[in-house]
Amino acid sequence: MCIKTGTGFQSKGSYLFGHFSMHIKLPAGDTAGVVTAFYLSSTNNEHDEIDFEFLGNRTGQPAILQTNVFTGGKGNREQRIYLWFDPSKAYHTYSILWNMYQIVFFVDNIPIRTFKNAKDLGVRFPFNQPMKLYSSLWNADDWATRGGLEKTNWANAPFVASYKGFHIDGCQASVEAKYCATQGRMWWDQKEFRDLDAEQWRRLKWVRMKWTIYNYCTDRTRFPVMPAECKRDRDA
C-alpha cells in the first residue's frame, strides 16, 4: 500500500514482545524535511516507544536512518546511521525484535542497534505496556534535515512511501495486560535470542565502524556521564 495523505496507519492489535517487520520503499528525490517513521508505541503518558525514523535528504545526499527508544516516557536515545543503499529504489526489510532481554533493530536482517535490558542498573525497560505498530509520513523540516536548515520543497510533493510484506509475530494483548501470556513459548523468546550471536555481533560492529554518524552513548556534550544502559551494550 502507499501512504499519500501524510497521516499513516497502525495495527489493530497491541503487543507485548515479538518480532515486527515491514518491506518499505521510501519516497524518492528531494525529500529534505520529510520523515518516514515505522515504530511501536504504547498510548499512555509515560509511554514506551521503539522507533525507526528515515530522515529526508536533498537529492544525491546519503539517506539517514535514526533509531530511538523511549522507556517510561523518556527518550533522547538517538542513534543515526547512513544506509549503505538507496532506500527509495527498492523495497528493503526493517525489523524489530523485542523480548524481555533486548530490543534489536534490523535492516535486511543485519542488526544495526541493540538496547539491552538494564533494569538492574536502574533503567526502565519496556515489559508491561502493550504497544501498537505504526507507520507515518510527515513534515519535520524544523529538525529532520541538517537540524532544520534544509526545508521541505513542496514543489516535489506528493511524497510517497510504499509498503508490503507487513508481518507481526508477537504476543497480542489488551491495553490492560501486564505480562505476556505466551512468555517462554515463542521462537523470539527462546534462549538463543537473549543476545546476538557471533555473526550478528560482527555485522553490528561493521555498521558501527563504517556507517554510524551519531550515537548518544558517546555524546559527552549532551551526556557528560555515559547513560547507564550504554554500559550493558558491550560494544557501545
Note down the domain range covering 215. Answer: 2-232
pLDDT for position 3? 39
CB pairs under 8 A, 24+ apart, for 36-40?
36/135, 36/136, 36/137, 36/161, 37/8, 37/134, 37/135, 37/136, 37/137, 37/138, 38/94, 38/133, 38/134, 38/135, 39/133, 39/134, 39/135, 40/15, 40/96, 40/98, 40/131, 40/132, 40/133, 40/134
Query: Which CATH number do you get for residue 200?
Result: 2.60.120.200
How many domains are there within the chain? 1
Cell 530490543 locates to 103
Q: pLDDT tens digits, the chain, 236 residues: what are they?
A: 343 446 789 999 999 999 999 999 999 999 999 999 999 999 888 999 999 999 999 988 999 999 999 999 999 999 999 999 999 999 999 999 999 999 999 999 999 999 999 999 999 999 989 999 999 999 988 888 888 888 999 899 899 999 999 999 999 887 667 677 767 788 999 999 999 999 999 999 999 999 999 999 999 999 999 999 998 875 44
Cell 557528560 locates to 224
Q: What residues are annotated to the active site? A: 49, 53
pLDDT for position 236? 44
pLDDT for position 76? 96
**Cα dihedral 143/148/153/154 (nearest 10):** 40
pLDDT for position 4? 40
The Cα–Cα gap between 77 and 62 comes to: 22
Q: What is the 3-state secondary structure (H, E, C) of the chain?
A: CEECCCCCEECCCEEEEEEEEEEEECCCCCCCCEEEEEEEECCCCCCCEEEEEEECCCCCCCCEEEEEEEECCECCCCEEEECCCCCCCCCEEEEEEECCCEEEEEECCEEEEEEECCHHHCCCCCCCCCEEEEEEEEECCCCCCHHHCCCCCHHHCCCCEEEEEEEEEEEEECCCCCCCCCCCCCHHHCHHHCCCCHHHHHHHHHHHHHCEEEEHHHCCCCCCCCCHHHHHCCCC
The Cα–Cα gap between 132 and 11 comes to: 6
- The predicted model scores a pTM of 0.93
